[in-house]
């Protein structure tokens, strides 16, 4: 190794490190606490030595120099005391530590010189004091300078070098012995200092690594492992802080909750790995966002977006719809090409919600609304929703308190074959007359009862009642009865229905159970099992509101369906709306191909009927023939035997 290399190594060893800012700052901090102590010891030791030499030595040595030193040391004490709890910048810490190195060297030289200049004035006792002073001072300094290796080495080198050189030269054996002792002790202390310094370095670096590791853990805990988006946990941590920030800055914050439409079928048909790939693709399409948008995956096919400084309502909805449109382009996955859409509910702070719970609940309500009424679009929670929530909760309360056995009744709407003009059967429809709220539509109270967990009771009560009525009918008239998703998503629920049907004495082969297409969006396999059980009993299964859902035909085909009911929305004014006309035409063709009877619902006018006849529709239900009738009205209606439709419109 050349001299230059040795020199470089030595200067690195003595340098104040700047490659690790945190180490430097930790050094600075420990140091700042120890420095005042070191200076206090130095002051005390210095004055002790000055006093023992006061009588003999000149005043500039015993008073002036100690005073000047005290002042210098005092300023350093004040400096270190002030900065003991501060976190300086890298540059400031480095400058302070370099400065300390310089001051340490100057002080070491000055003090060795000062102490040794007192030596000639004292008697042997006082001279021993000089030796003691230098030895003890250097040892204290090594202790206090542990965290700045360079300063400790400088001080030890200077003081000890002078000490050993001077006392060995005096020729007095006691002093020579003392200098050897001190030199040895200092070597040992320096070795200890090195070890401690290394340990200190290791500890700080270890801490840094632990911190980095826990930061990484925290990052992972907040990340969705599938899509790499921030996860639910991150969302619920960010939502309150984001609201807090919006509150402080007086800005609007929008929360969008998003749910994919048609994800479940993809998962069911193609399997989970395709579902997973689809979610990864969805996340990728959504993730290029303006800087004030933050995207999360809440779980399953549910996502959320927090928008800071949200635009005004109209623009917000436009932007959200644009975002949703990104998902309309088909997803080309290795296994299949998949088409989906997504619906979004949006709530804005502070306009519509003031707490995180309210914001989330309302965005979620708007999403529920979007799913039901405006699939594939973004819906902003509005004042109208608010009043609906209030109405809903009043209905829920009333449902819970009502004497349902008295307040519920069933009405029956005929289903007619227009070719034979015969009544084929009746659809049982629920009616609820509440003393406080009045008549409430089943379209309104059933969804609420489902959410409140009350629909099972309603179904059982209504089914029993409908079966009692239907038992009185001529035995070629069928009964149609509506079931809700909740009736079918548990094995026990289905068994209860089987019990009621069997116990009624009504021939199950005359019963059609109507299930809406949207029911199959939930748990297809469970639904399938439930209707298979009911089908085995002999019941027919009608697919209600056909055309409004998104079920794939191949899946519907795997169900034991016996009838489909074409939804009213396609029937209204079909003679004036070419799109509706075409839809009904193809639905009828589809029913024909699947060898299923098609019931056309909601026929209100002669024009609609004429158009339907032209399309080959034969089984009709609607106000044109008859509104739903009470049990009493039914008796007159059915008086003909066999019952024939006697309406004037045909």
Q: Which of 337-345, 501-509, 548-556, 617-625 is the region at the interface with ligand C2E (rule: CB under 6 A)?
A: 617-625
**CB of 302 vs ligand C2E, minimal distance in Å:** 26
Of residues 112 and 621, the one with the C-beta less far from ligand C2E: 621
Residues within window 448-477 making contact with ligand C2E, judged by CB under 6 A: 462
Q: What is the spatial distance between Cα 306 and Cα 239, in angstroms, rounded to a whole number?
A: 8
Of 256, 442, 493, 549, the one binding ligand C2E by CB under 6 A:
442
Q: Taking CB under 6 A as the rule, does residue 530 contact ligand C2E?
A: no
Contacts 24+ apart (CB under 8 A), 281-288: 281/331, 281/333, 282/227, 282/327, 282/331, 282/340, 282/342, 283/227, 283/228, 283/229, 285/326, 285/327, 286/323, 286/326, 286/327, 287/229
**CB of 415 vs ligand C2E, minimal distance in Å:** 10
**CB of 577 vs ligand C2E, minimal distance in Å:** 16
Residues within window 342-361 making contact with ligand C2E, judged by CB under 6 A: none
Of residues 301 and 545, the one with the C-beta less far from ligand C2E: 545
Q: Which of 86-94, 108-116, 440-448, 493-501 is the region at the interface with ligand C2E (rule: CB under 6 A)?
A: 440-448
Q: Which of 129-137, 252-260, 382-390, 439-447 is the region at the interface with ligand C2E (rule: CB under 6 A)?
A: 439-447
Q: Taking CB under 6 A as the rule, does residue 512 contact ligand C2E?
A: no
Of residues 397 and 569, the one with the C-beta less far from Ca ion: 569
Helix (H, G, I), strand (E, B) or coil at 523: coil
The vertex-67 CA angle with 62 and 72, nearest 5°, equals 135
Of 36, 345, 602, 643, the one binding ligand C2E by CB under 6 A:
602
Q: Are 391 and 445 in contact (CB under 8 A)?
A: no
573 binds, among ligand C2E, Ca ion, none (CB under 5 to 8 A by kind): none
Of 604, 607, 631, 633, the one binding ligand C2E by CB under 6 A:
604
429 binds, among Ca ion, ligand C2E, none (CB under 5 to 8 A by kind): ligand C2E
Of residues 273 and 373, the one with the C-beta less far from Ca ion: 373
Rg (CA), the chain: 45
Q: Which of 164-172, 359-367, 599-607, 609-617 is the region at the interface with ligand C2E (rule: CB under 6 A)?
A: 599-607
Q: Taking CB under 6 A as the rule, does residue 412 contact ligand C2E?
A: no
Of 484, 542, 551, 580, the one binding ligand C2E by CB under 6 A:
484
In 3D, which of 610, 519, 599, 533 has the Cα closest to residue 566? 599
Continuous segment of H or E residues that includes residue 355: none
Q: Which of 176-184, 269-277, 317-325, 482-490 is the region at the interface with ligand C2E (rule: CB under 6 A)?
A: 482-490
**CB of 514 vs ligand C2E, minimal distance in Å:** 6
In 3D, which of 378, 521, 513 has the Cα closest to residue 459? 513
DSSP character string of 411-431: EEEEEEETTTTEEEEEEEEEE
Helix (H, G, I), strand (E, B) or coil at 539: coil
443 binds, among ligand C2E, Ca ion, none (CB under 5 to 8 A by kind): ligand C2E
CB atoms inside a 10 Å sphere around CB 110: 15
**CB of 587 vs ligand C2E, minimal distance in Å:** 15
Binding mask 552-591 for ligand C2E (x = CB under 6 A): ----------------x-----------------------
Q: Which residue is nearest to Ca ion (CB)?
A: 514
Determine if residue 120 is left, alpha or beta; phi over 0 gives left, psi from -120 to 50 gives alpha, anything else beta.
Answer: alpha
Q: Are 362 and 385 in contact (CB under 8 A)?
A: yes
**189 Cβ contact partners less than 8 Å away, ≥ 6 residues apart:** 139, 142, 143, 156
**Torsion of Cα atoms, 176 then 181 then 187 then 188, to 10°:** 170
Of residues 353 and 600, the one with the C-beta less far from ligand C2E: 600
Q: Taking CB under 6 A as the rule, does residue 434 contact ligand C2E?
A: no
Q: Which two tokens stand for residue 293?
A: 């948008």
Q: Taking CB under 6 A as the rule, does residue 443 contact ligand C2E?
A: yes
Q: Taking CB under 6 A as the rule, does residue 430 contact ligand C2E?
A: yes
Q: Are 61 and 117 in contact (CB under 8 A)?
A: yes
**CB of 224 vs ligand C2E, minimal distance in Å:** 37
Of 622, 634, 638, 645, the one binding ligand C2E by CB under 6 A:
622
Q: Which residues of the chain form contacts with Ca ion (CB under 5 A)?
A: 482, 514, 544-545
Q: Taking CB under 6 A as the rule, does residue 329 contact ligand C2E?
A: no
Binding mask 218-257 for ligand C2E (x = CB under 6 A): ----------------------------------------
Q: What is the spatial distance between Cα 346 and Cα 258, in angstroms, rounded to a whole number?
A: 9
Q: Which residue in this structure is represented by tokens 């075409």?
A: 582
- Checking DSSP bridges between strand 511-516 and strand 408-417, what pairing results, if any? unpaired
**636 Cβ contact partners less than 8 Å away, ≥ 6 residues apart:** none
Q: Hey, which bits of 353-510 come out as E strands?
A: 378-380, 408-417, 422-434, 438-440, 478-482
**CB of 481 vs ligand C2E, minimal distance in Å:** 7
**CB of 271 vs ligand C2E, minimal distance in Å:** 32
Q: Hey, which bits of 573-613 come out as E strands?
A: 597-600
Q: Which of 265-273, 328-336, 583-591, 597-605 is the region at the interface with ligand C2E (rule: CB under 6 A)?
A: 597-605
Q: Taking CB under 6 A as the rule, does residue 381 contact ligand C2E?
A: no
Q: What is the spatial distance between Cα 184 and Cα 139, in angstroms, rounded to a whole number?
A: 12
Q: Taking CB under 6 A as the rule, does residue 446 contact ligand C2E?
A: yes
Q: Are 461 and 496 in contact (CB under 8 A)?
A: no
**CB of 390 vs ligand C2E, minimal distance in Å:** 21
Which residues are paired to 337 by β-bridges?
332
**CB of 260 vs ligand C2E, minimal distance in Å:** 25
| Backbone phi and psi for residue 4, each to the nearest 5 degrees, phi listed first | -60, -40
Q: Taking CB under 6 A as the rule, does residue 549 contact ligand C2E?
A: no
Buried b (16+ CB within 10 A) or exposed e, 58-70: eeebbeebbeebb
Of 540, 549, 628, 643, the one binding ligand C2E by CB under 6 A:
628
The vertex-63 CA angle with 62 and 68, nearest 5°, equals 120
Site of interaction with ligand C2E (CB under 6 A): 413, 429-430, 441-443, 446, 462, 482-484, 514, 544-545, 568, 602-604, 621-623, 628
């Amino acid at each position: 190794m050349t001299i230059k290399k040795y020199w470089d190594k030595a200067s690195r060893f003595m340098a104040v490190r700047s490659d690790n800012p945190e180490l430097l700052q930790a050094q600075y901090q420990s140091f700042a606490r120890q420095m005042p102590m070191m200076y206090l010891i130095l002051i005390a030791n210095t004055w002790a030595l000055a006093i023992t030499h006061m009588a003999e030595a000149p005043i500039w040595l015993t008073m002036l120099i100690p005073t000047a030193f005290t002042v210098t040391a005092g300023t350093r004490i004040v400096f270190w005391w002030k900065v003991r709890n501060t976190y300086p910048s890298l540059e400031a810490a480095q400058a302070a530590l370099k400065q300390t190195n310089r001051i340490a060297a100057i002080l070491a030289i000055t003090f060795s010189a000062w102490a040794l200049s007192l030596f000639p004035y004292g008697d042997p006792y006082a001279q021993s004091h000089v030796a003691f002073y230098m030895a003890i001072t250097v040892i204290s300094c090594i202790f206090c300078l542990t965290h700045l290796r360079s300063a400790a080495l400088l001080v030890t080198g200077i003081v000890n070098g002078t000490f050993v050189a001077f006392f060995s030269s005096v020729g007095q054996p006691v002093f020579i012995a003392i200098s050897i002792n001190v030199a040895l002790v200092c070597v040992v202390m320096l070795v200890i200092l090195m070890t401690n310094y290394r340990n200190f370095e290791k500890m700080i670096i270890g801490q840094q690594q632990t911190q980095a590791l826990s930061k990484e853990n925290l990052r992972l805990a907040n990340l969705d492992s599938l899509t790499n988006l921030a996860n639910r946990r991150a969302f619920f941590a960010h939502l309150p802080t984001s609201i807090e920030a919006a509150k402080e800055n007086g800005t609007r914050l929008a929360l969008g909750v998003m749910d994919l439409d048609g994800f479940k079928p993809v998962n069911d048909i193609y399997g989970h790995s395709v579902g997973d790939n689809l979610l990864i693709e969805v996340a990728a399409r959504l993730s290029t966002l303006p800087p004030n948008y933050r995207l999360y995956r809440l779980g399953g096919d549910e996502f959320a977006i927090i928008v800071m400084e949200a635009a005004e309502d109209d623009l917000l909805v436009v932007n959200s719809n644009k975002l949703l449109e990104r998902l309309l382009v088909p997803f080309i996955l290795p296994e299949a090409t998949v088409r989906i859409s997504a619906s979004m509910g949006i709530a804005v702070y502070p306009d519509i919600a003031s707490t995180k719970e309210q914001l989330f609940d309302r965005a979620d309500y708007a999403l529920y609304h979007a799913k039901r009424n405006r699939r594939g679009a973004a819906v902003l929670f509005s004042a109208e929703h608010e009043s609906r929530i209030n109405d809903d909760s009043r209905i829920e309360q009333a449902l819970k308190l009502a004497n349902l056995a008295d307040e519920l009744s069933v009405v029956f709407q005929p289903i007619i074959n227009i070719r034979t003009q015969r009544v084929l059967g009746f659809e049982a429809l629920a009616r609820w007359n509440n003393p406080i709220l009045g008549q409430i539509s089943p379209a309104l109270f059933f969804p609420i009862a489902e959410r409140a967990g009350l629909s099972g009771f309603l179904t059982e009560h209504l089914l029993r009642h409908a079966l009692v009525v239907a038992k009185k009918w001529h035995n070629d008239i069928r009964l149609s009865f509506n079931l809700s998703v909740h009736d079918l998503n548990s094995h026990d629920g289905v068994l209860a229905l089987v019990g009621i049907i069997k116990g009624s004495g009504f021939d199950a082969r005359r019963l059609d159970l109507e299930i809406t297409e949207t029911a199959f969006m939930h748990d297809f396999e469970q639904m399938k099992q439930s209707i298979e059980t009911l089908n085995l009993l002999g019941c027919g299964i009608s697919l209600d509101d056909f055309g409004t859902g998104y079920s794939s035909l191949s899946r519907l085909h795997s169900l034991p369906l016996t009838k489909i009911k074409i939804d009213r929305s396609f029937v209204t004014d079909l003679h004036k709306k070419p799109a509706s006309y075409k839809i009904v035409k193809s639905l009828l063709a589809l029913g024909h191909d699947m060898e299923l009877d098609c019931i056309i619902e909601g026929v209100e006018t002669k024009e609609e009927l004429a158009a339907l006849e032209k399309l080959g529709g034969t089984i009709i239900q609607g106000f044109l023939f008859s509104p739903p009738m009470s049990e009493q009205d039914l008796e007159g209606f059915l008086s003909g035997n066999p019952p024939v439709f006697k309406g004037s419109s045909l």
